[in-house]
Structure 1
Amino acid sequence: MRFEEIDWRETPIGVISLRRRRDPLLEVDVYEVKLDDEYLMSSLFTVAEVELARLGLAELPGTGFDVVVGGLGLGHSARSVLEDSRVRSLIIVEGLGEVIEWHQRELLPLSPSLARDARNRFVHGDFFAMAGSTAGFDPVEPGRRFHVILVDIDHSPRHVLDPSHAGFYTTEGLRRLGSHLHPGGVFALWSDDPPDEEFNSALAEVFTTSQAHVVTFPNPYSGGVSANTVYVATT
């Protein structure tokens, strides 16, 4: 089959759809998520999502890590977290219950490895509201702290999916986020834009260390190289 619309749902932020198509050039099945007419993600471009998890976890010594991933998507960042044997628990916060359901129904290639891993728990909620609250990310244990918080939701700190997210990327929003980390904990963020000096300055003001990593990967359609940014900061 050259094309299949696996699921299509009306949501508060628009129509979200999960599609699979056969790419004739690469001869692979490509999974894509669209919000209305905008492409949110593709299984062809997952290098930076994997690097988000790898770079975030690389900052930590020891073992027994409790991790939060904000944004489930196709599951590549979450799967990379669970591939690290030092991870004790993972909470994936996703704002769209439809996306969680896709993985619970095992509609995507990585879904079984997420849904069946006892360390993982899906939480349906607004990541940004949780980040700004005192209760935090675990409804079962309000106020719980974590060793790593990884975020891949908006396109970038400047290009957000909803205006209500913008405050998260300010110094005040980052301070609130940092309050949910253990001392020495790590915050990492995926961005589709080049490193942003204004956001780098906010990170430097709030966190002990911060760095913007440019992650490059081949683009089979352009024949060249594309790039994303992964920001990593430690308390």
Structure 2
Amino acid sequence: MAISRFEELDWHETSMGELTLRRRLEPALGVDVYEVKLGDEFLMSSLFTVAEIALSDLGLAAHSGDNLRVVVGGLGLGYTAVAALADTRVASLEVIDALPTVIDWHQRGLLPVSAELTGDTRTTLTHADFFAVMRAEPTRQFEAILLDVDHSPRHQLDPSHADLYTVSGLRRVRAHLAEGGVFALWSDDPSDDEFMIRLDEVFEGVVAHTVDFDNALTGGVSSNTVYVARRGA
């Protein structure tokens, strides 16, 4: 029986455009690649997960405590969330996504890490607007907030997200962190000096990590940025 080289696993119309999950065989590598597109724009690919994993690894490494309550903004392919679960100090993990379709993909087991994610009793998948949650008065606090939704602090998927990257928006994020808690953010752009100044105004120990990874499609090396910042006393 012939093996399909391309399969559209799901498609939905959303408020931000057409959301598509597809699987394709990458001939150069001989592996299945899972990709998410929003309209004509590629959002994520299972070929490039190093920085998504580093978001969890670097963020959680900046916290010295145990019994960590962690929230991830943006579910996507699930690699950030699963990397957080690999840290035995994580007591609970809530993943917030504005698109119920993405949550449904994992609940249906459509992605490589779905079973590992949904099968862990520490995991809660929440359909909500992460940015609205951060604007609201906190009803509880977390030891770590890991965010991977927008392309970068300057390039948002939706204009309504922009306020989070201001000083006042970052202060609202800080309010959702327990003392000593960590805010970590993935970005597709190089380190942004202006954004670093804003982070320094609100948080302590601010670091912008450059995460390099091999790009099998170009044959070169690509880079993302992971910002890590702590809430002091």
TM-score range, shorter chain: over 0.9
- 1:8 partner SS: strand
TM-score, normalisation: structure 1 = 0.96
Structure 2 counterpart of 1:125, from 107, 123, 128: 128
Give matches, 1:84-123, under 5 Å.
84-123=87-126
In 2: Cα distance, 1:79 partner to 1:208 partner:
27
Q: Which runs of 4+ in 1 moved over 6 A?
A: none
**Structure 1 counterpart of 2:18, which letter?**
V
Unmatched segments (≥5 aa) in structure 1: 136-142
Establish whether residue 182 from structure 1 lines up as the match of residue 178 from structure 2. Answer: yes
- 1:63 partner SS: coil
Unmatched segments (≥5 aa) in structure 2: none
Deviation of residue 62 (structure 1)? 2.8
**Structure 2 counterpart of 1:228, which letter?**
N
In 1: Cα distance, 2:65 partner to 2:180 partner:
12
* Partner residue, 2:37: 34
In 1: Cα distance, 2:63 partner to 2:154 partner:
28
**Structure 2 counterpart of 1:209, which letter?**
G
Establish whether residue 71 from structure 1 lines up as the match of residue 74 from structure 2. Answer: yes
**Structure 2 counterpart of 1:113, which letter?**
E
* Partner residue, 1:154: 150
* Partner residue, 1:169: 165
Question: What's the C-alpha RMSD, in Å, of the aligned pairs?
Answer: 0.6
Establish whether residue 200 from structure 1 lines up as the match of residue 196 from structure 2. Answer: yes
In 2: Cα distance, 1:192 partner to 1:132 partner:
24
In 2: Cα distance, 1:171 partner to 1:210 partner:
14
% identity of equivalent residues: 59
In 1: Cα distance, 2:216 partner to 2:93 partner:
33
Count of matched residue positions in the alignment of Structure 1 and Structure 2: 228
**Structure 2 counterpart of 1:12, which letter?**
S
TM-score, normalisation: structure 2 = 0.97
